[in-house]
Structure formats: structure tokens, C-alpha cells
Amino acid sequence: MTFLQKALPKSYPFFSLLFLFVSCKETYEETHIPLDDYQIEAGFDLQVVASEPLLDAPVQIDFDTQGRIWAVEMSGFMRDVDGTDENRPSGAIKILEDRDEDGVMDHAKVFLDSLVMPRALALVYGGVLYAEPPNLYFVEIDANDKPKNKVLVDSLYALEGNPEYQPNGLRLNIDNWIYNAGSHFRYQRKNGVWKKEPTTYRGQWGISQDNFGRLYYNNNSTQLLGDYVLPNRLVRNPFLIPSKGVNQKLTEDQRVYPLHAARVNRGYVDGVLDKDSLLIEVTAACGPLVYRGGAFPEGYDQNVFVCIPEINAVKRNILNFRGDAVEAEQAWEGKEFLASTDEGFRPVNLSTGPDGSMYIVDMHRGVIQHHAFLSPYLKKRAQEAQLDTLVNFGRILRVRPVSAKAPKMYDLDKLSAPELVKLLKDENGYIRDQAQHRLVYKNLVEAEAELVRMAQDVSDPIAQVHALHTLEGLERGLSFDFLRKVAATSDPEVVAHALVLLEGYADDDHADAALSLFQELIKKDHGGIDLYLATTLGPWARISESFYPMMNTLRERHMGDPVYVEALLSGFSSSDDDLLALLDEGNPKDSLLEKEVGKNRDRRKAGKKNPIYVRKGSSQDSRTKGAKLFRQICASCHQSNGNGVEGLAPPLVGSEHILPPEKLAMIVLHGLKGPIEVDGTMYNLNHSMPGLNSNQTLSDKDISAIISYVTNAFSKYPKGLRPERVKELRALPSKSGSEYTIEELDEVMESLK
């Protein structure tokens, strides 16, 4: 019996065969997936609600008002260790349905197919917004669940390349904007027209929000990142590049607690595994979710759950809100919220459902490290364990309390405006978000009066914030006097949102009243209120210098705090010099503020804006580009797996000649001839490897990308080489002018030390 047969449930082979025979069908008998290898926190129930053959390699889901699950399938991803046929149009968006109403999906139909590596979707504006790199599309849904009126929203949403670094997420936030991970753009549809705006670049895979509207994300090696402030508050000054109020590591604790010695990409590097071969810290964290479902026990509200697919687990973090900052700590030491010994369990995304449960998107792939980054170590171990054959699977799991009550379900599209307004008070954040969204995009202006009342009801701050942004989205019901009243009487988090919205009324007519309000608010000496006052004083100060004393008050109160420095500067554009002079006049100097104002002044004079205002689309990872170039130029001799071809080219895997990267660059640029010893074997080939130096279509960046890929894919210790260094090495041909011998090359490398 093979390892794979031992490790996987007996039903795996059956499903693989079943998939081949029934993949063209839409209705299936429900499949039973044993979960004996899964351990979940006491008090919770884990259930598979959808599985193969209904779906294959899901990466994100959303729910419609009928409770159906819409799933994006990235089935072309890593079907073998070489990523073969990655660009085959095999992806799809499917609708999963539970027709017998027993809680398990028993029906699937394709909404869109023939997609190339689709990666994200959101059910918004009565249709589907979805990402198929490089494009972002929106398509309406007809009465028969068929797509119609397809619109290209953004042709630069994601550059083609490594799917691990392309934008994704499509998270609708409380401010009526849609945000992404791996991107510095946000999107919104207004009166049928799509808008695209710069925003802070956030994370790698997956994005979530809390009840207040702050965003949370992560990257592979940092399990939880987030913003201290609401989106775009620190990037209104185009020359400010904030680094302290956004993209913050919310916890230093990156420890993981696996149940078994799972195979990981850099397991050979010292410090990655412990003495028992267990992973020590995260290496593939993704898909964070701030739980807002209202169905979990006390103490779980706004906890952040994080997918840790490399150890087949889901982690739990507890947030601590300080008003002007957010901190996190792992819920436990020594265990995870959910963990398994099933190496096929690959949680990649999390969602809150309309029933308040947490849904886990399990890609269920044996190898989820993209081939451009796949180390020889993991490639070998995956093949030994036959993990590379674990394809054609995909699951969605549901987590809910054992004692969960039957939720009240709503068909939101059939509710009236007053009924939707009432749902802004629902305990489930998913329901609140969806109710707000429908009020806005359906333009239900008849809800204005009730929304105005709700926005002033201080007994429910969360509903207040939803009501404020619903009114903002409807462009009805808000006024300076109304927002001033809300700010004067509400909790600090509501005050923050009111201050943000008040900024739209910054003019001479309202300056005196705003000054009076701000003076009262600053007396509260509350960190959160101070932070949002700091972000908004700049626009008001451009109208009247009467606001400058308040800046000094905040500067002195929070002396040396970099977050408040960014907040103060975020509201300024061309007034930085005047600001510094006025703040320093007769007051103790704040060296940090002075330093940051100086940086801002220098960037403005040089015309160097924050990159989010310059770049029109996402950038491509160099290793991805290198992988493409390697396959086009080098793989015919060295093979795509780097094992070489007998009598034609020696292997790259295990070769001592691909490091240091300067040596590899010299070989790539100038070529190599004569016998060469690789990993103890002598290769005496009767031909030379030509150099690429004379290929005018390959830039220094291209050569740099090839080197990044080769050292990453075929050596234990990846190294890059700057394009500038490549340019220098171009000028070092061999003395004969032809290809180098290995002896000549070694002499040159010695001289370069």
C-alpha cells in the first residue's frame, strides 16, 4: 500500500473514478467524507457541505439570497509538480444547491466555464464580479441563472503570471467600496458606471473587515496584518507614503501547532522545522476572516481566523482594539482551532454564511506551492508521497457551535426597504452588509427617514455606522448639521465615521461650527477620536488657520507617535512648509514630525508621489516571468524540471554552478563549453551552451528574472541578482570571445570576490 493510500480516506479513489464518469452531470448523490483525521475546538461541529465531484479546487465562495453557494474553481493550478497546462481554460464558476434541504449540497451547475485560472468573485450589484487575470469582469444574472451583459471592469486588474501574487479578494466593505488583497485599487459601481481608485497595497491572498470597517489581510510568512485606520485615510496626501498606520503586523507570534510532520517548501532550511520535523512558524498563511456571524459562543465575536494550509489547519486570533491601534494574540499555545493529519486538506479561504456559520474553502490539492517557487526538496517529497497525484478534489466545510440554533434565513432580494433597514441591526455581519448593499445599489431612497433615525440611535453603534454609510451611498439624508449632531452624541467609533463624512462639507460656511465641534471632541482625550481629528484637520485648516492650535494640541498629546504624525500629514498637500512653521512656533519641537514633513517636502519637490498614484496595475513577480522565460529558452535542453537531458545538457537540480547568482549570470550571458562536473558526475558533451548576451530581445531585467527562477526552483538557497549587476557582468566576456570553460569561469569568479 502506498503512502497516499494510507494517508487518504478510502473514498478518494472512488471519487476520482466517479468524477470521470459523472462530471457532465449536474445532480449527484450526496457524498460522505469521513472527518476522523480532523480535530476541532470543543463545542464546535465540523461538517462537509460540498465535495467532489460537485466541485474541483475551489478558491473562494459567496452566497446568494437563496442560500446557494457560488464557488470559483481554479482547477488548472498545480495539476502536477511542473504546473503543466496551467493556462488551460479549465476553471469555472459554479452554483451549488441543497435541494433536499438537509444542509449538504447535492446539485451543481456551471454559471461560467472555460476560464483560465479564475481567482475571485463577489455577488454584488445584482450580478457577479469576478477575476480572470488579467481582467476583472462584471456580469448580470438572468432569471435562469445564466450570465448576461458581460462588462470589462478593469483590463489591468492583474498581470498574467504567478497566481500566488495576483490580486484577489473582492471584499465589499462598509464604506461601499470593494477591496482586494495583492492590489492597490478599490472598485465601486455608481449609476451603472464602474469607478477605480488607488488605495493602500494590502496583503497576498484573502482580505476581511471588522465591524468598524478596518481591513485585515496577511502574507505567507506573516499570519495577520491590518490597518489601524479606515481605508484611504492616510493616502489623501499623494506624497505621503504611510508605513505605521497601515500594513501593520498585528502580532509577532507566527507559531503554528501542526498535528503531524507535513511537507513544506523550505523544510531543509535550518530553523524551519523542529527536532520532530514539525513546522515552527507559518510559511503559507492566507485567507483571514474576521468572524462577525453572531452565532459563535461569547468571546468569539471579531476573532480573526487564518488559513494555514501548509500544516492543514485553521488558526484563531483574538483582537484587542485600542481606538488608535489594533493588536492580536493567538487564542492558545500548543494547539490550533482546527487541525488535521489529512495532507489533502488545504484551507485557502474563509467566509461567514447567511446562517452565521464559518465556511472553509478547502482547495484539497496535494501540491499548492506554485511551480515557480517550488523547491527541489518539496518536489521530491511530494512525489515520494504521491501528493502530486491528489487532483480533481475540492470541498467546502462548515463550522458551527454544537448547540447552534436554527438560523432565520432571509431572501434579501424580496424584502422591502423597511425590512432591509431593520436588518442593519442583525447580529450577523453578513446579513448587515448585504442589507446595506441592497439598499444602496437598488437606490431605495424610501428608506431615508428610517435610516436617519437609526443613525442617531446611540444604543446600537454598529447599526449607526451602517445607517450612515447607507445614507452616503444613497446620497440622501446626510448634511453637515446632521453629522455634527451624530459626532457630538455618539460612541468614539461612530464619531470617527462622522468625522470622515463631515470632511465633505469643509468650506467657509461650516468652518466655525466644525471648529466648535472639534474643540469639544478634543476635550474627550480619546485616542481613537484624536486619530480621526488628526486626519481631518488638514482640509479644515486650509479654510481657516483657527484649526492650527488643535494640531498643536494633538501633536503635543501624542508626541513621537508615528501613527499620529502620518494622520496629521495625511490631510495636507501643498501646505507642509507652512504647517511645520506654525506647529514649531513657540512650541517644543517634534523631531519625528519634522523629519516626516521634510521627507514629504522632498518628495513633493521631486514629483515623487506615493506609488499607488503612479502604477496603473499590479506588478509581476520576477520569478514568474523567469519561469516563463526558462520554459521558452532553457527547458528544451535542461527540461522544465531541471533534470537535464542525457547527452545534451547536465542537470540544474543539485548543481553547484547555479550559485552564487553571479556565476549563473555569467553562464547565461556568455555561455559555457567543455567538460563540467555536476554533483559528482562528469559531463563531457561535444557541444557548447550558447550565451544570451547577444540576444537583444532579452533585457537585464529578463536575465535577472531567469536567475531568480532557476536559483529558486533548482537550488536549496534561492538568490536574486539585481538587473544593474547583470549589466555589469555583460561586460566580462571570455578572453577568447567565445564561451567560457568552467576553469576560466572559476578564475573570473575568484577575481570578483
Fold of 622-752: Cytochrome Bc1 Complex; Chain D, domain 2 (1.10.760)
428 or 717, greater pLDDT: 428
- Across 91-119, average pLDDT: 95
pLDDT of amino acid 18: 37
Show the CA angle centred on residue 126, arms to residues 305 and 159, nearest 5°.
Answer: 65
What pLDDT does residue 87 have? Answer: 87
Say what the pLDDT of residue 20 is.
36
- The percent of residues above 70 in pLDDT, for the chain, comes to 91
User: What's the pLDDT at 55?
Assistant: 94
Does residue 716 register a pLDDT over 90? no
d(CA 242, CA 563): 9
* 23: pLDDT strictly greater than 60: no
pLDDT of residue 14: 35
Q: What is residue 494's predicted lDDT score, i.e. its pLDDT?
A: 98
pLDDT surpasses 50 at 585: yes
* pLDDT tens per residue across span 687-712: 678 788 867 778 999 899 888 888 88
Q: Please enumerate in sequence order all residues whose Cβ is within 8 A of that of 132, keeping only pairs 6 or more positions apart, or say none.
A: 91, 115, 116, 117, 118, 119
Q: Residue ranges per domain, the chain?
A: 40-127+237-401, 412-613, 622-752
C-beta separation of 710 from 626 below 8 A:
yes
pLDDT digits (tens, 9 = 90+) for 266-292: 788 788 999 999 999 999 999 999 999
Across the range 296-317, mean pLDDT stands at: 98
| Averaged confidence pLDDT in the chain | 89
- What is the per-residue pLDDT across 372-381, written as a single tens digit (0 to 9) for each? 777 778 889 9
Residue 318 pLDDT greater than 60, yes or no? yes
Which one is the CATH code of 412-613: 1.10.150, 3.40.50, 3.30.70, 1.25.10?
1.25.10
Supply the pLDDT for residue 28: 56
**Of the listed ranges 107-111, 607-611, 634-638, 665-669, the one predicted with least confidence:** 634-638
Whether pLDDT at 257 is above 70: yes
Range of weakest confidence among 512-516, 567-571, 617-621: 617-621
User: What percent of the chain shows pLDDT beyond 90?
Assistant: 65
The CA distance from 289 to 352, in Å, is 8
d(CA 497, CA 536): 11
Closest of 135, 226, 217 to residue 181, by C-alpha:
217
Q: How far apart are CA 708 and CA 718, in angstroms?
A: 7
